[in-house]
Amino acid sequence: MLVDAALNYLRSGLCVLPARLADKRPALPSWKAFQKCLPNEQQIRSWITDAEAICILCGEVSGHVEMIDFDQRGELFDAWLESVCTVAPDLLDRLLIETTQNGGNHVVYRCSEPVCGNIRLAERAVPVLDGNEVTINGKKYKPRKNGDRWEVVLTLIETRGQGGLFLCAPSPGYELKLGRFDKLTVVTPAERDLLLSAAYALNERLPQPEPITITDGTSSGRPGDDFNQRGNIRDLLQKHGWTLFRSGENEHWSRPGKERGTSATLKDGVLYVFSSNAAPFEQNKAYSPFGAFALLEHGGDYRKAATSLHEQGFGKKEDTSGVDLSGILGKSRDNEIAASNVLTPNDLFNFNAGDDPNTLLGNRWLCRAGACLVVGQTGIGKSSFSMQAMMAWALGEPLFGITPTRPLRSLVIQAENDVGDLSEMFCGVLRGTDCVDRLPNLQPMITFVSETTRCGSSFHAWALSLIEKHKPDLVWVDPLFAFLGGNASDQETVSKFLRNGLGAIAQQTGVTWMIVHHTNKPPKDSDKRAATIASDFAYLGAGSAELANWARAVLSVRETAPGQFELRASKRGRRAGLEDSDGKPATEIYLKHGLHGICWERSDAPEDERNECEMALAEEVMAAADAGKSYDRHEVRKIVERVLGLKKSSVLSPGRRAHRVYQLTLKRMSNPMFPGMYSVAPVASVANTNATGPSANSLNN
């Protein structure tokens, strides 16, 4: 099979050689000569007969063949496919795609012009404890020192070009998924640039902008530094012909003359250019806003750029007296925030809510600069639930149906658990969810900080410094009581901490707060427990109602029976994406503590208790109806809304408890004599029965 394939490849102009699977190299004493000429068929037959694999040499000898290699088990392959498909869906169908022996992917094509040597397109730096060798996804790595820390650099995507080679199908472990080697597509330089740019845009190890120390000599502050803080690099890029191709936390920009595709990314104020045709920018280099301004406006003359910015008002010290947002936020961007918050009717009409770049979780359930209240009884396992949530979302995976739009980075600020507790929870979730081998993926995504002394405004300033350092998507505060610095029942105290403090920081940085909060244990009396179920679960948290009013979303965890727990998306629940054990949308599901670690698992709904509670609620609804009066469905629904204190949308939403109570009430109140009408039969007294109704004797006659 290998011989036939190799001969077929050779006849199509590919330089194919025997190879060794283990070290992915040609199984020949010397093979460099074949970078310039093809072997003959006799050589192929003699080499390949006993060979364990075959490989193809890239570059000019094979007709300008280039291969894009997706390593680390093809982790970024789907993201790359989606990016390319967005720009040129027809191009994907023309490429050759194969899977590799280590779970990765190869994308192969020919180019109409010569290709360069091998290029590293996307990398990731993974922090490690020391310089000892580590194994990640089956490969061994030697850490290296970067400043004061050790790290391993993982290659996620790279090319094999001139001088490179790669093993291929039908070698053991390699399988063709699309295309044929004997009919490789020839792409244009522009199409090749698109393929490489999509990979460059996924790079996680970006260079830092070079420091610039020029000043204009006339300002007490440096205009370039001030422009880096307050300048609008987006307007600058658009002025010089750049276009925003994809918005979001990591913005994708197209160079002048390129209608679609990514030439550079903009994240956290740093412009990373990877296009080789984006003059005056250099390829694979990062630029600060001031560096970009100097290049585009003044040909790279930093002194002239600084003078120009000073004339525009940059570099002057601002009056920071008085109490304002900057007292919390430090180096604020008040002007930029104010401008970004101004919207017009046209803005709202043209906004595509279905493709909101600020969405982090669910169907716009939680977005950037939002907040979620995670409420549960003391000792129920809120911290372990939070641990499991942040770990799942850090891996880009759903938690019981609540799905992140991408892997989310978490900063955990906590005051209740010591290092042993945290370790037990973390390792318990790792083992319980079978994710031990994904520890390297979690390493850069979650940071834990323990704090027991700061509260109120001092907590705000300190938390902001952590956010600026670690750049999280989600900030977990566990528990709220430890950092509030006042009475949780006092609305003014709570509003000041949440809206004026955490809310201001969220608007400045874009982080989303995850606030872990206690509630009281439910009453043991079943009637009182049923009444609790009928209330609005968003307000289960102890303290002021402002807690639930401020939070954009609420998750509540409560024990419904020994070892049985209910997870409920109490606010904006239908957007969360919770799924029951059958995969159907739900706003509440049932969980239990895991058997193989400190983690949470799905549990079958406790049908007896659920039916009992819902029956009790239906009885409450019927008690609120006038006995003997006939109602239609809409009137019954309004009674359900009034008794349960819920909106029409909740009562009419399948999967919600209110809807089940509504259906149960309709069934109990139905009148077989008059379909479509519903009533509660009056309870006749004994006296009335004797006076107006038939006697027992007459009934027996």
Q: Is the pLDDT of residue 696 over 60?
A: no
| pLDDT for 367 | 93
The residue-averaged pLDDT of 631-654 equals: 82
Q: Report the pLDDT value the prediction gives residue 341, as an integer from 0 to 100.
A: 61
Q: Is the pLDDT of residue 77 over 90?
A: yes
Query: Model confidence at 674, in pLDDT bands (50, 70, 90)?
Result: confident
Give the pLDDT mean for 629-633. 89
Residue 582, CA atoms < 13 Å, CB-side half-sphere = 5
Distances (CA, A) of 184 to 54, 96, 181, 187: 17, 7, 5, 9
pLDDT surpassing 50 at residue 527 = no
Which pLDDT value is given to residue 216? 43
For residue 139, the model assigns a pLDDT of 83
Q: What pLDDT is recorded for position 587?
A: 83
The pLDDT, as a whole number, for residue 689 is 37
Whole-angstrom distance, CA of residue 39 vs CA of residue 59 = 15
For residue 302, what pLDDT band results from cuts at 50, 70 and 90?
confident
**440-463: average pLDDT:** 89
Does the pLDDT value for residue 56 go beyond 50? yes
Write down the pLDDT at residue 46. Answer: 93
CA angle 525, 526, 532 (to 5 degrees): 95
Dist CA 222 CA 235 (whole Å): 21
Residue 267 scores a pLDDT above 90: no
| pLDDT at residue 328 is higher than 50 | no
pLDDT at 219 over 80: no
As a whole number of Å, the CA-based R_g of the chain is 32
More confident residue, 395 or 571: 395
DSSP string for residues in 305-338: HHHHHHHTTTTPPP---SSSTHHHHSS--HHHHH
At 26 the pLDDT is 94
Residue 687 is predicted with a pLDDT of 37
Q: Closest by alpha carbon to 293, among 205, 226, 338, 245?
A: 226
Cα–Cα distance, 20 to 62 (Å, whole number): 20
Query: Does the bond joining 170 to the residue before it have cis omega, within 30 degrees of 0?
Result: yes
- Position 324 scores a pLDDT of 40
Residue 694: what pLDDT? Answer: 33
The answer on pLDDT for 332 being more than 80 is no
Report pLDDT for 697: 32
What's the CATH superfamily of 358-602? P-loop containing nucleotide triphosphate hydrolases (3.40.50.300)
The residue that leads in pLDDT, 241 or 213, is 241
Share of the chain above pLDDT 70, in %: 85
**Spatial contact of 477 and 483, defined as CB atoms under 8 Å apart:** yes
> pLDDT tens across 250-261, in order?
788 888 988 777
pLDDT given for residue 218 in this prediction:
43
Which pLDDT does position 654 carry in this prediction?
65
Q: Tens digits of per-residue pLDDT, 138-193?
A: 788 899 888 888 889 999 999 999 999 999 999 999 999 999 999 999 999 989 98
513: pLDDT strictly greater than 70 = yes
Look at 5-19, 35-49, 222-236 and tell me which has the smallest mean pLDDT.
Answer: 222-236
More confident residue, 211 or 617: 617
Tokens standing for residue 394 = 């850090």
Q: Which helix (H) or strand (E) holds 387?
A: helix 382-394
pLDDT at 334: 47
pLDDT at 632 over 60: yes
What pLDDT score was predicted for residue 525?
47
User: What's residue 544's pLDDT?
Assistant: 67
Res 528: pLDDT: 43
Residue that wins the pLDDT comparison between 624 and 319: 624
pLDDT cut 90: percent of the chain above it:
33
pLDDT for the residue 322: 36
Look at 628 and 109; give whichever has higher pLDDT. 109
433, burial (CB in 10 Å: exposed 0-12, middle 13-18, buried 19+)? buried
- pLDDT over 50 at 443, yes or no: yes
Tokens, residue 623: 């008690």
Per-residue pLDDT, 685: 39
Residue 606 confidence (pLDDT): 54
Give the separation between CA 540 and CA 377, rounded to whole angstroms: 9
Q: Please list the helix, strand and coil fractions of the chain in percent, rounded to the nearest 5, in that order.
A: 35, 25, 40
Give the pLDDT of residue 597.
66
What pTM value is reported for the model?
Answer: 0.46
pLDDT score recorded for residue 535: 37
Lowest mean pLDDT among 55-69, 94-108, 324-338, 634-648: 324-338
**CB within 8 Å of 186: residues ≥ 6 apart:** 109, 110, 111, 112
Q: For residue 330, give the nearest of 513, 508, 496 by alpha carbon.
A: 508
Please state the rounded mean pLDDT for residues 641-653: 78
pLDDT attached to residue 541:
46
How do 165-167 and 53-57 pair as beta strands?
antiparallel
Mean pLDDT of the 482-488 span: 83
pLDDT band at 500 (very low <50, low <70, confident <90, very high): confident
Mean pLDDT of the residues in the chain: 82
What are 397-426's pLDDT values in tens digits?
Answer: 999 999 999 999 999 999 888 898 899 889
Q: HSE on the CB side for 345, CA within 13 Å?
A: 0
The stretch 626-650 carries a mean pLDDT of: 85
Which residues, including other chains, have CB under 8 Å from residue 527's CB and lie 6 or more apart? 616
- 340 pLDDT exceeds 70? no
> Domain coordinates of the chain in residue numbers?
2-200, 223-314, 358-602, 606-701
Looking at 22-26, 317-321, 596-600, which range is the least confident one? 317-321
